[in-house]
Amino acid sequence: MDYPKGVKVIKNKDYRYDNRGMILEEDLNLTNQYYINNKIAYIYKRPTPIQVTKTEYRNNKKIIKEAFFKESSTTDYNGLYKGIYIDFEAKETKSKTSFPLGNIHDHQIKHLTNVLDNGGLAFFIIRFTSLNKTFLLTAKDFIEYFKDSKRKSIPLTYFVEKAHLIKESYNIRLDYIKIVDTLLGGTNE
Amino acid sequence: MDYPKGVKVIKNKDYRYDNRGMILEEDLNLTNQYYINNKIAYIYKRPTPIQVTKTEYRNNKKIIKEAFFKESSTTDYNGLYKGIYIDFEAKETKSKTSFPLGNIHDHQIKHLTNVLDNGGLAFFIIRFTSLNKTFLLTAKDFIEYFKDSKRKSIPLTYFVEKAHLIKESYNIRLDYIKIVDTLLGGTNE
């Protein structure tokens, strides 16, 4: 195929590598599949929201000829555990000292606030790739920092103090439901 | 703009009118907004899943040049009520006597089974437009019929017997949470 000069064409196969949080995403997908197979929980990834601007029909099938990736208004994952609604965002950072808040959007915070207001469990799973450490930080603690501070990032020390370290293993890559259990035990009984 | 002969171009504004369940969808969106505003529940529509097959960069922004609408592997709506995970599919039919099963897919049934297996609440909201009646039928009752029968549709009599009629009013278009309350009261206490 010929493309105009200077136009970079990316086929679908490469598309996912272009996303942030790729390795963490794979770990979470494997973990969630393990939870589904063993009837532990049912948590799944949301599709990337897309704004369709032009469609046409080809052989009676509607195809999209132009569309844009939208800023997500929700989070990456949701689902349920023992009937309880679960919602979380997963992010990686290469920083060794803090998690940058730049790619967390206000409407994601609004979404998480709605989840908390209605009794659901919401959190962030954040991996410091250089440290090889993955934390679960509750949305409550995240939002507290996000709202009250003028800082552009959450320091690692906040994670060490407030968050829960997720154990990594071969069978269950990131067994975050164990931490969810602790959280539910502490808040729901 | 010039398009090849025989190519029908639809701009985004018209796109939603091309979908089934348009009026029901609008009623549900208004209802869900009412629930959010009054902190009753947080239930929202999922984005339509799209398979991206070709992207390019224009002014450093990635745009989609070809994509396809995918068959949904989940349902239209999910969210939570009093902490409990809620999931449902909404459909309209013009038939006066039965609901056709043709546009319910096996992986949607699989999705709803996963929700039920993990203690969530799942159902269908089905409107018989010619009768001006909207029913809530639990996923359990729906799946029972879907699996055990060779029929291509669910007769209205099944809805009258098993489903719950949803009251329509001006303030809360379709107050389905009232029925959810009954369902939770009956199964969770």
3 state SS for B86-104: EEEEEEEECCCCEEECCCC
- Which of B66, B75, B80 is the best residue to mutate to test the A interface, defined by the most A CB atoms within 10 Å of its own CB? B80
What part of A 47-66 touches B (C-beta under 8 Å)? 47, 49-58, 61-66
Q: Is the pLDDT of residue A36 over 50?
A: yes
Q: What percent of chain B has pLDDT over 90?
A: 63
Please provide the distance, in angstroms rounded to a whole number, between the alpha carbons at the two ends of chain A.
Answer: 62
Please tell me the predicted confidence (pLDDT) of residue B10. 44
Contact B55, A15 (CB under 8 A): yes
Please tell me the predicted confidence (pLDDT) of residue A149. 65
Whether A83 sits inside 8 A of B8 (CB atoms) is no
For A155-184, the pLDDT digits (tens) are: 999 999 999 999 988 889 999 999 999 999
For B127-178, the pLDDT digits (tens) are: 999 999 999 999 999 999 988 767 789 999 999 999 999 998 888 999 999 9
Distance in angstroms (rounded) separating the CA atoms of residues A129 and A98:
12
Question: Chain B residue with minimal CA distance to A11?
Answer: B54
One-letter amino acid for residue A49 of the chain: P
Please tell me the predicted confidence (pLDDT) of residue B162. 97
| Among A25-29, A103-107, B1-5, the range of highest mean pLDDT | A25-29
Q: How close is the nearest chain B Cα to the Cα of A10, in Å?
A: 5
User: B115 to chain A: which residues are within 8 Å by CB?
Assistant: 42, 80
A150 or B53, which is more confident? B53
Question: Chain A residue with minimal CA distance to B9?
Answer: A56
Q: Is the pLDDT of residue A21 over 80?
A: no
Distance in angstroms (rounded) separating the CA atoms of residues A72 and A50:
9
One-letter amino acid for residue A88 of the chain: F
Distance in angstroms (rounded) separating the CA atoms of residues B77 and A90:
22
Structure tokens at B146: 């879907």
Q: Is the pLDDT of residue B40 over 50?
A: yes
* CA nearest to A111, candidates A61, A46, A165: A46
A151 pLDDT tier (thresholds 50, 70, 90)? confident
Contact A27, A173 (CB under 8 A): yes
B15 touches chain A (CB under 8 A): yes
Write phi, then psi, for B175 (nearest 5 degrees).
Answer: -80, 70
* CA nearest to B75, candidates A93, A169, A109, A47: A47
**Which residues, including other chains, have CB under 8 Å from residue A67's CB and lie 6 or more apart?**
A50, A51, A52, A53, A54, B50, B52, B63, B64, B67
Q: Is the pLDDT of residue A11 over 50?
A: no
Q: Exposed (0-12), middle (13-18) or buried (19+): which is A86, by Cβ within 10 Å?
A: buried
B82 touches chain A (CB under 8 A): yes
Whether A67 sits inside 8 A of B63 (CB atoms) is yes
